[in-house]
Structure 1
Amino acid sequence: MYQTMIDILKQELVPALGCTEPIALAYASAKAREVLGEMPDELYVECSGNIIKNAKSVIVPRTKNLKGIEAAAIVGMLGGNPDKKLEVLTTVTEDNIEEAKRLLERKYCKTSLLDTQEKLHIIVHMKKGEHSALVELVKTHTGIIKIEKDDKVIFIDEVTEEAINAVDYNVLNIADILNFAENVEITEIKPILVRQIEYNTKIAKEGLYHTYGVNVGAALIDIYGDDVKIRAKAMPAAGSDARMNGCELPVIINSGSGNQGMTVSLPVIEFGNMLNVDENKLLRALCISNLIAIYQKYQIGRLSAYCGAVSAAAGAGAGIAYLYGGKEEEITQTLVNTLANVSGIVCDGAKSSCAAKIASAVDAAIVATMISLRGKGFVAGDGIVKDTIQKTIDGVVTLAKEGMKETDEVILKIMMNEG
């Protein structure tokens, strides 16, 4: 179990440049171009509804202002390096961007909604004369399951949950996460978490001091001041401001999401700085916040109608409670208090307003933490709250996966001007 926890952190806390859904599109497109070996005459992309939802309104990194599925696929095709995976667009040049603009004007890339049960599913088709390439990606943002060249399968991988999660996420539970965080040899997690602190703080400051989107993070501090409770909301919101609006700095993600990676870490860092805790204490708190966020989200799935900022903020609240000396009882109650409050926030795609949702979720987590540290909290029978944390989280998972299934479809219809 000890090694599994470390493996989960290594697998989940990785760098990504830009919103991960357009990046997944760019990655699949870059791979298809590599397989084809030449510039295609035709580019056709099929996407699941959640990919469309999350790629529709966000700026593709390195492009300054290009948005959408077509832009992500074209830019990935022209200048992406598939070997860099979630940092696929770090090799894009100004010439690539100018060519992408010309191709977009020509409506070069065709797209369609993919008929699939998967939330995360992309198929990229390319043709050049008699030659063709196909790349299919499913379940994770780099999870290529099939590659074809000239209609012949050259790579196929039957993707199962077990194959994707080479480590067993089912070991995750609150008691064992806390035991691991308290006892792990700090040198084994330090490189992973120090990188998260460095990357996510840097992009948050970029969003705080420069113009991106509507600057939710900067507005919070301008309006409410520099109190730690405001900074804890403003920093991840500012990081999202920057990330959703074309900033070229990478972030360390959590559960496949940069916004969740910032939400789960930056509030903990702010409270750690305010409380003047030593580095080891902060790293153990971040270990708790990250693993508790993953514990919730891996059961829900990477994409859904349930806003991932909620599970990430709940994790951050747990980390903050730990910094204040909270034990299992207070940390568990923080999770319950957060989920009882804001589990209804919906995901309507990646875009500027994600920053405001992050701020709302973190605010709820801070309130939840302070209530729990006073020995108070919501109890079984209060709405969706059950008599154990596992039952409460199971209920939230059911809400997200089953209760919000139709919600997800309606959100997509509204976004596509069909509802």
Structure 2
Amino acid sequence: MVENNDLRYRNFLQILKEELIPAMGCTEPIAIAYAAAKAKKVLGYVPEKTIVEVSGNIIKNVKSVIVPNTGHLKGIFAATAAGIIAGKSEKKLEVISDVTEKDKEKIKEYLSTYPIEVKLVDTPFIFDIQMNVFYKDSSVKVRIVNYHTNIILIEKNGKVLYHKEATESKEEGLSGKELLNVEDIVDFANSVDIQDIQDIIGRQIEYNSKIAEEGLKNNYGANIGSVLISTYGSDIKVRAKAKAAAGSDARMNGCELPVIIISGSGNQGMTASLPVIEYGNELKVSKEKLYRALIISDLVTIHQKTGIGRLSAYCGAVCAGAGSGAGIAYLYGGGYREISHTIVNALSIVSGMICDGAKASCAAKIATAVDAGILGYHMFKEGQQFRGGDGIVKKGVEATISNVGKLAKEGMKETDKEIISIMMEN
């Protein structure tokens, strides 16, 4: 048993605290807004000129998404201007949560008055943002790498004010995730003191449920959540997919409600939680049982993403869909065996779905990933499974997760380059 004085217990708890945090809007444009707000604060003036230097994956994940609180403006230019004009850097991933109507007009005016230049840089960091702002003879650089709030450099007028070393693919400042494995995740979920996770999981349920309801009620993007229900009915399997898709519908298309993210992604945070919450309501489980199921889904999602990285050509919703399948298996009374087979089955079905940036179609991909998670559980329940040697499946859940990590991180590098190249042509 993973007891509360155990290293693993403290590690798993800290991972949840670090990963399940609120963010408003797609996290890559919000990271740009955060860098811009920080740079402007250090500069002390509204910049007369800005140069934004970014890695290809940042361009991919910001190009097509609406930035909240900007009057439905899209992309890097909007995120930068929003951070400069109305950003509060101390709020980090909620940096542009307090924008007024007057601020929105100022953002548009700033975009039409002052130059913002975006440069694609050759960098070893998949996640790399450098904000360069200028006012008369003054200049400031702020650089973020590896994850959304990880500032590694602040420089003013050529003088380094803050610097820390960063290593490619290492997340300095965050808890190590090497101890994560499915067996211990299930053990932790079964034994964790609910008081230790009540606030974290309670907030996840509240925030993500609220944006899902908003997505179903109103017109956002391609309205995948609404289409699913109107086309396929209100069976629990449909509602679980629709809720997750509707949250993404809203978030990708300018909704100003915050979400609780996982692995730096609101879409993954909603995909890992909303289907489990919907099944919990359907099955009328206790609050405690639902919380424990969400812990499984959250940590299984994080575990898969650890071998892949924050950004990749591999759609992160696949990981979260498998995670939600694991959580649903737990709600039905499943233990380590049922959960392991659910994960392997789900990954066998949809691994390889590409990430071509944040935009409306993310909601449809989320629905597909959740469907794979649900099917993965029901396959095992019916005595069916994919076995070691079937494609990328290897005997044992950890070996299969490892294979998926290799596929996503190494095997899809060229795919990622081609996706970025295609997107920059459009």
Of 34, 58, 69, the residue aligned with 1:51 is 58
1:407 paired residue number: 415
1:212 paired residue number: 220
2:38 paired residue number: 31
CA displacement, residues 293-342 of structure 1 (integer Å, 9 cap, x when unaligned): 00000220000000000000100000000111111111000000001110
> Contact (CA 8 Å) 1:306, 1:346: kept in 2 or not?
yes
How far apart, in 1, do the equivalents of 2:82 and 2:175 lie?
Answer: 33
> Contact (CA 8 Å) 1:80, 1:88: kept in 2 or not?
yes
* Number of residue equivalences: 418
How far apart, in 2, do the equivalents of 1:237 and 1:107 lie?
Answer: 37
Of 261, 266, 279, the residue aligned with 2:269 is 261
2:238 paired residue number: 230
How far apart, in 2, do the equivalents of 1:139 and 1:167 lie?
Answer: 14
After superposition, where does 1:92-241 map in structure 2 within 5 Å? 92-106=99-113, 108-160=115-167, 164=172, 166-241=174-249
CA displacement, residues 109-132 of structure 1 (integer Å, 9 cap, x when unaligned): 111101102111000001111111
> Contact (CA 8 Å) 1:263, 1:358: kept in 2 or not?
yes
CA displacement, residues 111-161 of structure 1 (integer Å, 9 cap, x when unaligned): 110110211100000111111111000001000000011111000011346
How far apart, in 2, do the equivalents of 1:116 and 1:162 lie?
Answer: 15
> Contact (CA 8 Å) 1:343, 1:396: kept in 2 or not?
yes
The change in CA–CA distance for 1:163 and 1:348 in structure 2 (over 3 A counts) is closer
> Contact (CA 8 Å) 2:55, 2:126: kept in 1 or not?
yes
Letter in 1 for 2:44: G
Poorly superposed stretches of 4+, deviation over 4 Å? 160-163
TM-score by length of 2: 0.96
Q: Does 1:13 align with 2:20?
A: yes
Of 236, 250, 254, the residue aligned with 1:242 is 250
How far apart, in 1, do the equivalents of 2:103 and 2:306 lie?
Answer: 36
Secondary structure at the counterpart of residue 290 of structure 1: helix
CA displacement, residues 24-81 of structure 1 (integer Å, 9 cap, x when unaligned): 0000000000000011111110111000000000000111310010110111011100
2:5 paired residue number: none
Q: Does 1:327 align with 2:335?
A: yes
- The CA deviation at 1:106 is 4.4
Letter in 2 for 1:333: H
> Contact (CA 8 Å) 1:330, 1:375: kept in 2 or not?
no
After superposition, where does 1:314-393 map in structure 2 within 5 Å? 314-393=322-401
- The CA deviation at 1:107 is 6.4
Letter in 1 for 2:327: G
CA RMSD in angstroms, aligned pairs only: 1.1
How far apart, in 2, do the equivalents of 1:235 and 1:340 lie?
Answer: 24
Secondary structure at the counterpart of residue 146 of structure 1: strand
2:96 paired residue number: 89
How far apart, in 2, do the equivalents of 1:238 and 1:55 lie?
Answer: 20
How far apart, in 2, do the equivalents of 1:153 and 1:264 lie?
Answer: 40
The change in CA–CA distance for 1:162 and 1:301 in structure 2 (over 3 A counts) is closer
Secondary structure at the counterpart of residue 95 of structure 2: helix
- The CA deviation at 1:162 is 6.1
The change in CA–CA distance for 1:215 and 1:66 in structure 2 (over 3 A counts) is same
The change in CA–CA distance for 1:263 and 1:90 in structure 2 (over 3 A counts) is same
How far apart, in 1, do the equivalents of 2:320 and 2:375 lie?
Answer: 15
> Contact (CA 8 Å) 1:326, 1:373: kept in 2 or not?
no
Which stretch shows the higher mean deviation, 82-91 or 104-113? 104-113
How far apart, in 2, do the equivalents of 1:239 and 1:166 lie?
Answer: 27
> Contact (CA 8 Å) 1:127, 1:133: kept in 2 or not?
yes
Identity of matched residues, %:
56
Which stretches in structure 1 are left out of the alignment for 5+ residues?
A: none
Letter in 1 for 2:71: K
- The CA deviation at 1:165 is 5.0
The change in CA–CA distance for 1:77 and 1:87 in structure 2 (over 3 A counts) is same
1:80 paired residue number: 87
Which stretches in structure 2 are left out of the alignment for 5+ residues?
A: 1-7
1:312 paired residue number: 320
> Contact (CA 8 Å) 2:313, 2:355: kept in 1 or not?
yes
